[in-house]
Structures are given as structure tokens and as C-alpha cells.
Structure 1
Amino acid sequence: MKPLVIFADAQAAAAGVLRTALAGRSEPYAAGVTVGTRVPGDRSPEIPHLPYVLVRKDTDLPHSSMANTRATLRVTVWHTDADQAHDLAQLCQGLLIVHSGPVIRGVRPATGPLAAVDDTSRGTPGSDIDLSTFTVLANVRPATA
């Protein structure tokens, strides 16, 4: 009988990597950063939750041998201005690219960082807060269950 192969949650793993790595950074644009996997419910400028880093998984592409899966991770950074959003996104991208651990074995860049503004989408009012977003391709280790 073949072993049951599963893959851990790359989204949660990447958020954990960034949460841990950013906690010890001295760059001013990384001070007080929060990392999560959900868009904050209230993104208005009056709520002091910036900077905020969102990690979401866009896709999974398992290899036919089940020896690996490649997840596309999208990271979005909201900050007080466009320059700091870009700088923090660059730092996050670099931290992910150099990471190798028990869930994510390796990461390579895909797109961005790209500058944007949090605007109205899906009928929900945006915050007009500057943001920067990028994607990376993460190779995820298999585990047997």
C-alpha cells in the first residue's frame, strides 16, 4: 500500500516565518509590524494597525511524484506611505527567499513588489492606504500521515 502523502499549510508557515524574522529587525519601517493571514476588517487610517503584512496562498501545484508541491504565496504590505510599504515588502520577500525549514524547503521570487493603493473592491470601501504586493513560489515538503 502506498503511503498517504500530505502537505502542511504553506500560508501559515510563511506567516510564521515572517512574524518571527520581522520581530528582530531594526529597520524603522519594520517597527511594530503585524503579520496575519486575513485582511483586517477595519483598514481605515484612523485605526493604528500599520504596518500590516498579509500572507495568502494563491495556488498549489503538486508534483506528480508527490515529492513536492509548489505554492504561490501572495504577500501584501500596508504601510503609512508608499516608500515604507515598498521597503517592507522588499524585506519580506528577501526573508522568504533565504528561508528553508520544516514546511517550506525553498522559495524563489515570482512578481513584484508592486505599488498600489487600497481602494474600493467588491462593493467594500477601501482605505486609500498605500500598499505593496508581491508573490513568491514556495516548494513545500511532503509528510506522510
Structure 2
Amino acid sequence: MDAVALFPDAELVAVTWLRARLAERGEPYADGVTVGTKVTPGSSPTKFVRIRRLGGVQLHEVADSPRLQAQVWFQPGAVTDEKNRNDLAQLVWALLRGIRGQDVTVPGWPRPVTCYRVATFAGPTPVPDPADSARTITQLTVEIGMRGRPA
């Protein structure tokens, strides 16, 4: 029988990484940002980053390469909010690229997850908010190589 591996929850790895990195930042637009995987149906959140897995492939026996999308919301209202949303999306993109070479400790996984490769598939792009087409969010897509563990 061929060796098989178990892979970590890629969304949890990215959410854990982003929460910690954003909490360290001093930019006003990064203050109080919530990072998660779910948006309440029909709602448009404020200062929120949603991470979700769109697919990806197993690279080899012990490496997964999940493709992750980050969607960025920022409270509309002030003239500077579009710039703040764009700045936050650029920061999220940079922080996700910064996971390369890092070990991320996530709940329920027996050891830190090694993240060794990052590729951008779509840089920050403004798109209509799924809950309110009059609003704009920004989304981006990256692929992160993550080491698994034996099954």
C-alpha cells in the first residue's frame, strides 16, 4: 500500500496566521479587523477578511497546495473607506505571501504546519459584495504549499 498523508485545514492555517499578523500591525485600517471563514448570509460585514478554500492539488505524498481566496470588506461611509479597503487588501496579500517559510501552530493539529511555498493566482481585485451589489469588496487568491503528516 502506498503511503498517504493527512493535511491540515488550510483555511484554519491561513486564518490563524492572519489574525496574529494583523494584531501586530499599527495601521488604523488594520485595527479591529475580524478574520474568519463564514459570513452571515445576507449580511455585509465591516472590517472583515473571509478566507475560503477554492481548491488546489496535492503536490506529492506529504505536500498539499490549497488555493485560498481572501475577501476583504471595509465599512462604507467615509470618503477614505475605499482606500482603507484597498490598503487592507494589499496588507492581507503581503501577509499571506509572508507565510512562506513559516511554521503555523493551529488547534487540533499535532505539530506546527510548515508553509513553504506561496504563489499568487489573482492579486487584489474589486468585485461586487455578494450580499449587496451596491457595495464593493476586494478579493485575491493565493496558493500555499503546506506539509501534511502521515495518516
TM tier relative to shorter chain: 0.7 to 0.9
Q: Give secondary structure in 1 for the equivalent of 2:125.
A: strand
Which amino acid is 2:147 matched to?
R
Q: Which residue of 2 aligns with 1:32?
A: 32
Q: Which of 106, 111, 121 is equivalent to 1:110?
A: 121
Q: Which residue of 1 aligns with 2:62?
A: 67
Contact kept, 8 Å, 1:113 with 1:134, in 2: the verdict is yes
Contact kept, 8 Å, 1:78 with 1:129, in 2: the verdict is no
Question: C-alpha root-mean-square deviation of aligned residues, in Å?
Answer: 1.9
Instruction: Report how many residues are paired.
Output: 135
How many angstroms does 1:26 deviate by?
Answer: 0.7
- Give unmatched runs, 5+ long, in structure 1: 120-124
Q: Which residue of 1 aligns with 2:86?
A: 86
Q: Which residue of 2 aligns with 1:140?
A: 146
After TM superposition, the score normalised by the length of structure 2 is 0.80
Contact kept, 8 Å, 1:82 with 1:132, in 2: the verdict is no
Contact kept, 8 Å, 1:33 with 1:51, in 2: the verdict is yes
Which amino acid is 1:112 matched to?
G
The percentage of aligned residue pairs carrying the same residue is: 34
The C-alpha deviation readout for 1:62-103, integer Å capped at 9, x for no partner, is 12x313121110000001232211111110111111112232
- Give unmatched runs, 5+ long, in structure 2: 76-80, 104-111
Q: Which sits farther off after the overlay, 100-109 or 7-16?
A: 100-109
After TM superposition, the score normalised by the length of structure 1 is 0.83
